[in-house]
Amino acid sequence: MKSTWGGKGDVVKRRAPAKPSTREKYVPGLTQSGIDAAKELILKALQPRALPHYSDEEIKVLAILEGYISLVQQAKAKRSKGEAKTKADYRRNHVNLLLRYVVDKRYREKPKSLAKVMKIIERLDEIDIEASETQVRRDIHAALKSGPLT
Confidence band of 64 (pLDDT split at 50, 70, 90): very high
**Buried b / exposed e across 57-67, counting CB within 10 Å, b at 16+?**
ebeebeeeeee
**Buried b / exposed e across 5-15, counting CB within 10 Å, b at 16+?**
eeeeeeeeeee
What confidence score (pLDDT) does residue 86 get? Answer: 87
Average pLDDT score over residue span 84-105: 84
Task: Give 105-125 pLDDT, tens digit per residue.
Answer: 766 677 678 888 888 888 898
What confidence score (pLDDT) does residue 56 get? Answer: 92
Average pLDDT score over residue span 56-64: 91
Q: What's the whole-model pTM score?
A: 0.46
Within 13 A of 90's CA, how many CA atoms are on the CB side?
12
pLDDT over 70 for what percent of the chain?
77
d(CA 44, CA 48) in angstroms, rounded, equals 9
Task: Give 33-42 pLDDT, tens digit per residue.
Answer: 888 988 999 9
